[in-house]
Chains A and B, each alone.
Chain A
Amino acid sequence: MSRRAMTALVLALAGVLLAGLLLGETALSLSQYGQALTNPGSPPGEVLWTIRLPRALMAALIGGGLGLAGASLQGLLRNPLADPGILGVSAFAGLGAALAIAAGLSAVTGAVEAGALVGALASGLLVSGLAAKFREPEALILLGVSLSAMGGALTALIFNFSPSPVATAEVMNWLLGSVANRDFGDIGRAVVPMAIGAALCLWSGRGLTMLTLGEETAAMSGLPMARLRTAAVAGAALMAGAAVAAAGVVGFVGLAAPHLVRRLSGDDPAKLLIPSAVAGAILLTAADLLSRVLPSEQELKLGVVTALVGAPVFALVAWRAARSWRS
């Protein structure tokens, strides 16, 4: 990606973060913005620095992680329709959270998040093992789809047998995804797994580019492909799991972000990773902003907004892919 394009992406991210800080449900006057800047402890300061800023930063962090995870998996599986959801990581993270809520642990600080992370890690470990065993991307995709279906079915089973409609509503609400009411402590807890996952995905980049030429050429390239492949899956699972733990299930960002910057990156899977993270951060921060400023009685859930925007993107990508298969 050219330096100019990367600069434009970073500026766009700065722009949406600034908008996330300045815009929201509570309209502030110019003098109140001035008060927030000069006196962070004032009521407008509280709105800007303890409500909006961590929320916007959390959206950027989650979006960045999902964008990077999506780019990593698309490169690994050589499939433009891959995203963290396809490997079942999101479904199992959701299952972990649903189990925690059904077990009545939602009042325990961090229990639901921990449940989601454990679910994500369990499926991530399973998928990493499968990635080491099966080299063919198609096999991994099919196994991931079955894992995803299994995670969804078990979550539905919890709904089915849940004695409390309150707990069911709570699980549903959580699964819809949101970054509302997050503080810097939540960000701190999400940053660590995100950073480890990002490091793993970035390290696997050169292997992803080599995989462009197929498994056998990559295997003969001298790169430690088994380790790079495992790193890509584990990194993506860790980031997707951390994302679900922090914000519930937010779909389509991992799918859409890489497509927004693919051409600018010369279609090179390694060069696509960082721009996809920035694009994901922009997308989710903008989606969260949209969910806040759209006039509605109840705030739109983040997962709903991304799905409403992402589903047509998915359809468009599939349409283009189908056309290329036909030709």
Chain B
Amino acid sequence: MTAVTTAAWTLEGVSGGPGGRAVLDQVSLTVRPGELVGVVGANGAGKTTLLRAGLGLVGLTAGRVSLGGQALDALKEAERARLVGYLPQERRVGWNLAAARIVQLGAPDLSEGAARALAVDCLAKVGLAGFEGRGVLDLSGGERARVLLARLLATRAPLLVADEPTAGLDPDAQYLALELLTAQARAGAAVVTTLHDLGLATRVCDRLVVLKDGRVVADGPPREVLDGDLLRSAFGLDGGFVETADGPVLVTRRAQAR
């Protein structure tokens, strides 16, 4: 079998949810190498379930998932790990390991020395140079989130899946996190992330996939997707894009009649 070097991620007609619940309803989605795709939707729309289902962490009642052209369930655990880097929404860390050690866990394929050097590099990228020896439970919530983002980068996987990577980060760190994910996409990775900040999502994502009640209700470039009707039906918001010197900016407010 030829080794997969790029990893397009395809979900076709996927239905299912945790414990057999019907959270997702016939979801289809493709993320290609080189693009950053944002998955957006209201709370409970099924964003996290979509990512988990696409990674084999949730049982499907219908549909199929493929990675790099191969069926996901046909991949061995080690091969899947080589292809996918995953940052779950859950940020709880069990023990007070040093930040560098946490990051190194993203690169189990490397020797101790090489993994350590990579960890130092990744921590510097997320703005935590000098934090290598700090216990991760001694850090603030935002700093811990950055360490976990650094671990995601250390995987060097061709598909990066990040569930709310900006949660708990200050505004500057939110931009930094998304710049880092964009850089991974530009370097050839397929990157998919869930986001709640629609303004940020429209600025950085190549494509937005909008979920509502477990269904994909829109999929395309942000400016084409987020029109007034969709903002109201999927998010309960009024608004639209406003042209500024800095480019188009999405402006929203709560819909008057809800």
A residues apposed to B, CB below 8 Å: 75, 78, 206, 209-214, 216-217, 219-225, 266-269
Which parts of B5-56 form the interface with A (CB within 8 Å)?
52, 55
Pairwise interchain contact B81-A267, C-beta atoms closer than 8 A? no
Q: Can you list 30 A-B contacts (CB < 8 A)? A: A75-B95, A206-B108, A209-B97, A209-B105, A210-B105, A212-B95, A212-B97, A213-B93, A213-B94, A213-B102, A213-B105, A213-B148, A216-B86, A216-B88, A220-B80, A220-B81, A221-B81, A221-B105, A222-B80, A222-B81, A222-B108, A223-B108, A225-B77, A266-B101, A267-B95, A267-B97, A267-B135, A268-B97, A268-B101, A269-B95
Pairwise interchain contact B95-A268, C-beta atoms closer than 8 A? yes
A194 and B51 CA atoms in complex are apart in Å by 42
| Contacts beyond the supplied A220-B57, A220-B81, A222-B78: 20 A-B pairs with Cβ under 8 Å | A78-B94, A210-B105, A212-B105, A213-B94, A213-B105, A213-B151, A214-B90, A214-B92, A214-B93, A214-B94, A217-B88, A222-B82, A222-B108, A223-B81, A224-B77, A225-B77, A267-B96, A267-B97, A267-B135, A269-B95
A219 and B161 CA atoms in complex are apart in Å by 14
Pairwise interchain contact A220-B86, C-beta atoms closer than 8 A? yes
Which parts of B173-199 form the interface with A (CB within 8 Å)?
none
Pairwise interchain contact A216-B78, C-beta atoms closer than 8 A? no
Tell me how many residue pairs across A and B have CB atoms closer than 8 Å: 66
Residues of B within 8 A of A269 (CB): 94-95
Pairwise interchain contact B98-A266, C-beta atoms closer than 8 A? yes
Residues of B within 8 A of A210 (CB): 105
* B84 touches A (CB below 8 Å): yes
Per-residue contact bits, chain B 218-235, to A (CB 8 Å; 1 contact, 0 not):
000000000000000000
Residues of B within 8 A of A211 (CB): 94
A213 and B87 CA atoms in complex are apart in Å by 10
How many B residues touch the partner, as a band? Answer: 20 to 34
Residues of A within 8 A of B77 (CB): 222-225
**Whose C-beta in chain B lies nearest to the C-beta of A223?**
B77
A143 and B98 CA atoms in complex are apart in Å by 32
Residues of B within 8 A of A219 (CB): 57
Measured CB to CB, the closest approach of chain A to B91, in angstroms, equals 9
Residues of A within 8 A of B148 (CB): 213
List the 3 shortest-distance A-B pairs measured between CB atoms, nearest first: A222-B81, A78-B94, A222-B78
A209 and B94 CA atoms in complex are apart in Å by 9
A223 and B109 CA atoms in complex are apart in Å by 11
The winner among B81, B97, B98 for most chain A CB atoms within 10 A is: B97
A275 and B82 CA atoms in complex are apart in Å by 32
**Whose C-beta in chain A lies nearest to the C-beta of B104?**
A209
A223 and B106 CA atoms in complex are apart in Å by 12
Measured CB to CB, the closest approach of chain A to B241, in angstroms, equals 36
Per-residue contact bits, chain B 95-117, to A (CB 8 Å; 1 contact, 0 not):
11110011001001000000000
Residues of B within 8 A of A225 (CB): 77
A222 and B81 CA atoms in complex are apart in Å by 5
A139 and B80 CA atoms in complex are apart in Å by 27
A175 and B210 CA atoms in complex are apart in Å by 62
Residues of A within 8 A of B94 (CB): 78, 211-214, 269
Pairwise interchain contact A220-B55, C-beta atoms closer than 8 A? yes
Residues of A within 8 A of B93 (CB): 212-214
Residues of A within 8 A of B86 (CB): 216-217, 220
Residues of B within 8 A of A206 (CB): 108
- Known: A220-B80, A221-B105, A223-B77. Contact between A214 and B88, CB under 8 A? yes
Residues of B within 8 A of A216 (CB): 52, 57, 86, 88, 90
- Known: A78-B95, A213-B93, A213-B151. Contact between A220 and B84, CB under 8 A? yes
**Whose C-beta in chain A lies nearest to the C-beta of B52?**
A216
Measured CB to CB, the closest approach of chain B to A217, in angstroms, equals 6
Measured CB to CB, the closest approach of chain B to A314, in angstroms, equals 19
Residues of A within 8 A of B96 (CB): 267
Measured CB to CB, the closest approach of chain B to A322, in angstroms, equals 15
**Whose C-beta in chain A lies nearest to the C-beta of B78?**
A222
Residues of B within 8 A of A268 (CB): 95, 97, 101
Measured CB to CB, the closest approach of chain A to B38, in angstroms, equals 20
**Whose C-beta in chain B lies nearest to the C-beta of A227?**
B77
A214 and B102 CA atoms in complex are apart in Å by 12
Residues of B within 8 A of A267 (CB): 95-97, 135
Measured CB to CB, the closest approach of chain B to A221, in angstroms, equals 6
The winner among A78, A209, A211 for most chain B CB atoms within 10 A is: A209
Measured CB to CB, the closest approach of chain A to B132, in angstroms, equals 12
**Whose C-beta in chain A lies nearest to the C-beta of B89?**
A216
Measured CB to CB, the closest approach of chain A to B18, in angstroms, equals 12
A223 and B79 CA atoms in complex are apart in Å by 10
**Whose C-beta in chain B lies nearest to the C-beta of A209?**
B105
Residues of A within 8 A of B78 (CB): 222
A222 and B135 CA atoms in complex are apart in Å by 25
A168 and B151 CA atoms in complex are apart in Å by 57
A214 and B94 CA atoms in complex are apart in Å by 7
A115 and B154 CA atoms in complex are apart in Å by 50
